[in-house]
Amino acid sequence: MFTVLFSACARNIEEKPVKNAWLLTPELTSVKVNDPFWTPLIERNRTATIPYTFGKCEETGRIDNFAIAGGLMKGKHTGERYNDSDVFKIIEGACYSLIETPDPKLRSYVDSLVTLIAAAQEDDGYLYTTRTIDSLNMAPGAGRERWIDERVSHELYNVGHMYEAAVAHYQATGSNVFLDVALKNAELVAKEFGWGLREIAPGHQEIEIGLIKLYDLTANRQWLELAQFFIDVRGRQGDYVRHPEKSRFDVYNDSVYLQMHKPVLEQSEAVGHAVRGAYMYTAMADLSRATGENKYLEASQRIWDDVTGGKIYITGGIGSKELGEAFGEAYELNNLNAYTETCASVANVFWNHRLYTATGDARYLDVLERTLYNGLISGIGTDGCSFYYTNPLESDGRFERAGWFDCSCCPGNVARFMPAMKQYIWSVTDQGVNVNLFIGSEAKLKTGAGDVELKQTTGLPWKGDVTINVDPAVNNTVFRLSIRIPSWTGDAPMAGGLYRYVTPAKEKPELKVNGKKITITEEKGFAVIDRSWKRGDVVTLSLPMEPRFIIARDEVKADSGRVAIGAGPLVYCVEEADNGKISDLNVNPATGVVSSFDTAILDGVGKLTFTAEKADGSQKEVMAVPYYSWANRGKGEMQVWIKTK
Ligand SMILES: [Zn+2]
């Protein structure tokens, strides 16, 4: 019962040859994470974030909204029109967590929520608690009738998250109960939307991803075709009810904000709301995988070139503008008021993983990894119960993590992301196995050459040692093991030309098989080893982790005359908590940087120390900590980009 979603690519390759050799993503059940860095974060998500965010949903009426809509209790709808989606996302995360760690209490809690959701569904499948509770007094923006104000209402957005949650629930439990609710809703959406029906694109993309997950699970092409319709209709629909000027919904009049300014296949630039955009670019790649039509993938790749060429932060964050939570112009990458929503980082990982899966090209993993280790996990505090919605790269002391938000999309996105992140570590190719990320884990994979068990142990992100034990089920199995050589071992932290290291790396990656050094042959960013594998074979990779200063292209005015520091996949920052006031610091990029590990702070982190100059010309020993760990020790100044002479 667990084979569904993550093995779906295999089925599609058999059914329909596609131009790209799509890589296969292992099922969640076939990978176990055992890693000194990631295991505690995943465990914190399970024991703190998931129960905490469910608790917040209860406290804020998000759960009661379902009970009231279902007639199980009396009351009014509370909160925003899109609040249903938060509950769906946390259920999705809880279900992935249940796959990893059975927990009868959590299972029964999730099932009790599913009962409420099922009760809240109207007879014809419609599910949107605010309208069902009281169609005359709805949450602002819901629209006076179903779907007439979809740009604003989030009716399709909400249920897209429900489809994803229902698929996860089926995977975790084998129960059809939630899936049936989702499918009944999808049937209704399919009756209402389509060519010749309501030719309306979703106001907030998400249902496209959800529908393709339903298709992957059920193999019912109706869901794939509906997803394709929602992508194809975007930028083609006719006039729209405009909202009165100066209302809080004014932004929805902007077609660019909604990526509706032109048909999707004609889009080449990342514009508008970053989360909407990245969910759509993700769905476009999904659509190419499932349909075999590469045009969606090609458009998605064009937009990726635009992002990596000028619209991504060194942390992997995207969407620099607060106004509209949007992509800025090329090189518009302010630090203090960088928006870089946590959800946009989650979406950026989804998107890069899809593009990687389509192409086998490691440059997408370089962006995925950078986002994962920096701009994504920066969104959650060390307690697992405090969050950042925005992830600025500089603070003058004004920022503080919050326990919740009125629009609380980000905590739920983190909750569902963490227990499923292990799917990104390994991939199966038509030639063998790819090692995508350096995260301690065990994988049982089915390759064309036969079954193989792999075990990875590593000291990343603090130490560059990686060991991979290869155990084929049958001795002398011939296949290719490809191990990613990360961009951070070369001249630039990622492709696109936006950032580069000030100095070349002193050392090169070193690869050994059974203790014997071998020459690295690189293909698409991977060191490839073609070999007849025996049980007990051991591959070791040594990655240089020296800290190096980074500069941005001249066009990025915000980083002009400044340097950042990176070591491995991590970006570091200087914080007031360690250094006192830091805004007047000046660093010479020729200065030596010493790295060490500090068990006493921030649950144990690598730290970098170096000498900087203060405004009065005096020297000061400065300490930098990983960017992801910032803002866990009270308010204070922070800088990623430090002034240089
Ligand atoms: Zn968010």
Higher-scoring residue by pLDDT: 251, 173: 173
Distance CA 401, CA 377 (A): 13
Q: What's the gap in Å between 347 CA and the centre of ligand 1?
A: 10
First to last CA, the chain: 60
pLDDT on residue 8: 35
pLDDT band at 494 (very low <50, low <70, confident <90, very high): very high
| C-alpha 393 – ligand 1 centre gap (Å) | 17
Residues 125-158: tens digit of each pLDDT: 999 999 999 999 999 999 999 999 899 999 999 9
pLDDT at 284 exceeding the cut of 80: yes
The confidence score (pLDDT) of residue 237 equals 73
How confident is the prediction for the chain on average, in pLDDT? 94
Q: How far apart are CA 184 and CA 201, in angstroms?
A: 20
609-612 CB contacts, 8 Å cutoff, 24+ apart: 612/585, 612/586, 612/587, 612/642
Ligand 1 geometric centre to CA of 405 (Å): 9
Distance of CA 202 to CAs 125, 156, 159, 198, 487, Å?
A: 18, 6, 11, 11, 37
Question: 527-561 pLDDT, tens per residue?
Answer: 999 999 999 999 999 999 999 999 999 999 999 99
Q: What is the Å distance from ligand 1's center to 399 Cα?
A: 17
- How far is the centre of ligand 1, averaged over its atoms, from the C-alpha of 408 (Å)? 6
CA of residue 173 to ligand 1 center, whole Å: 28
DSSP 568-589: TTEEEEEEHHHHS--TT-EE-T
CB neighbours (10 Å) of residue 106? 19
CA–centroid distance, residue 163 to ligand 1 (Å): 19
pLDDT of residue 406: 84
Once rounded to an integer, what is the mean pLDDT over residues 457-464? 98
pLDDT at 184 over 80: yes
* Rounded distance from Cα 344 to ligand 1 centre (Å): 7
- Look at residue 356 in the predicted model and tell me its pLDDT: 97
How many A from CA of 522 to the centre of ligand 1? Answer: 37
Q: Beta strand 31-33 with 441-447: parallel, antiparallel or unpaired?
A: antiparallel
Q: Would you place residue 252 in the very low, low, confident or very high pLDDT band (cuts 50, 70, 90)?
A: confident
Distance 397 CA to ligand 1 centre (A): 22
Which of 174-183, 232-241, 316-325 has the lowest average pLDDT?
Answer: 232-241
Q: Is the pLDDT of residue 10 over 60?
A: no
pLDDT at 15 over 60: no
- How many A from CA of 348 to the centre of ligand 1? 12
Amino acid 590: pLDDT: 94
What is the dihedral sign for C-alpha 236, 242, 243, 248? positive
The pLDDT of residue 515 is above 80: yes
Q: What is the Å distance from ligand 1's center to 111 Cα? A: 25
Ligand 1 mean position, distance from CA 12 (Å): 32
Strand 637-639 relative to strand 586-587, pairing? unpaired
What burial class does residue 568 get, using C-beta atoms within 10 Å of its C-beta: 0-12 exposed, 13-18 middle, 19+ buried? Answer: buried
> What is the pTM (predicted TM-score) of this model?
0.95
Could you give the count of Cα atoms lying within 13 Å of 449 in the half-sphere of its Cβ?
A: 24
The angle subtended at Cα 410 by Cα 162 and Cα 438, nearest 5°, is 95
Distance 448 CA to ligand 1 centre (A): 40
Q: What is the pLDDT of residue 4?
A: 35
Distance in Å, CA 303 to ligand 1 centroid: 21
What's the farthest any 2 CA atoms get from each other in the chain?
Answer: 74
- pLDDT of 193 > 90? The answer is yes
Q: How far is the CA of 428 from the centre of ligand 1 (A)?
A: 31
For residue 635, what are the contacts with CB-CB under 8 A and spacing of at least 6?
395, 397, 398, 399, 400
Q: What is the pLDDT of residues 553-584, one digit of tens each?
A: 999 999 999 999 999 999 999 999 999 999 89
435 alpha carbon – ligand 1 mean position (Å): 30
Cα 406 to middle of ligand 1, angstroms:
11
Q: List phi, psi (to 5°) of 584.
A: -100, 10
Q: Which residue, chain included where needed, has tokens 């779906």?
A: 8
Please tell me the distance between residue 273's alpha carbon and the centre of ligand 1 in angstroms: 11
Q: Which amino acid is at 514?
A: N
CA 513 to ligand 1 centroid distance, Å: 44
In this predicted structure, the answer to whether residue 11 has a pLDDT above a threshold of 50 is no
Q: How far is the CA of 56 from the centre of ligand 1 (A)?
A: 16
Does position 244 have pLDDT exceeding 70, yes or no? no
- Compute the average pLDDT of residues 55-80: 97
Residue 433, pLDDT > 60, answer yes
Q: Are 355 and 364 in contact (CB under 8 A)?
A: yes
